[in-house]
Chain A
Amino acid sequence: MSDAVKPTWPRWALFFAGAAALSAIPFGLAFSHALKGAAMLVAMGVWFVAYMAYVFVGSSRLKAGRIGPAMRRYRRRLAGAMLAYCVALMGSLALLRGGALTGPLLWIVAAAPAIPILGVLVVMGLYLKEEPDEFERAVHVEAMLWGLGVVLALTTVWGFLSNAQVVPAPPLFLVFPLFCLAWGVSQPLIRRRYQ
């Protein structure tokens, strides 16, 4: 039997090109001012769900047969957390828009979108705990360290730049997506080293 692996990078490239095109939609909507207020919020909600569906279905087809039970559970939990995030974010933005909230309620509503994101951290931890394949685990841990390294490097440089008022203060809510991006990008590079 052959152990040759068909090159999958052209299909991955197509997948990422599609994801990049989908990512451009919210910027297009925001800059064109085509939609306003509640319509914009609903459009962003629809876009978010469509984007998630594209990423989950696309990656599961590309990884066909290579998704173990622990990874499947991780992906299901992640999808749930991301949907909860979408709902919490839209609800929070809608409630904050009125500007009528004060005191502890304002704090809770403002921080609500962070709760599902903290859930994602728990989901990541559960995956590492449940993954039976030690090599997979090692790749993920190493990729997380790269994610952490990228986040620390960028935010430290940005922090000093903003101290000197060369650039505005870093948007801290973007630290987590940056970590996820660096984690995801480093994975294929780490795997290549073991081939």
Chain B
Amino acid sequence: MKNRLKVLRAERDWSQADLADKLQVSRQTINALETGKYDPSLPLAFRIARLFEQPIEAIFQDEA
């Protein structure tokens, strides 16, 4: 699933490690999310949305 994580992270000047710390996941997880190859669970998607203060559908785009 496509997402804007990389852009949102760059806007805040956070590294992958910074974002990983804030979400309490591993840096590898952030990497897998950003490539769009791993879709987060609903709880993690909500944590991401809360962190960036945006609705989930503004961060993740479903291509259908």
Q: Which residues of A contact B (CB under 8 A)?
A: 1-3, 66, 68, 132-136, 138, 191, 193-195
Contacts and interface: CB of A to CB of B under 8 A. Distances in A.
A72 to B, nearest CB: 13
A191 B28 contact: yes
Interface of B: 15-18, 24-29, 31-33, 35, 37-38, 40-41, 44
A133 B25 contact: yes
14 contacts: A1-B15, A3-B16, A3-B31, A66-B27, A66-B28, A132-B24, A134-B41, A135-B32, A135-B33, A136-B28, A193-B37, A194-B31, A194-B38, A195-B31
A147 B31 CA distance: 25
B61 to A, nearest CB: 19
Given A133-B29, A135-B26, A194 B17 contact: no
A2 B26 CA distance: 16
Nearest to A135: B29
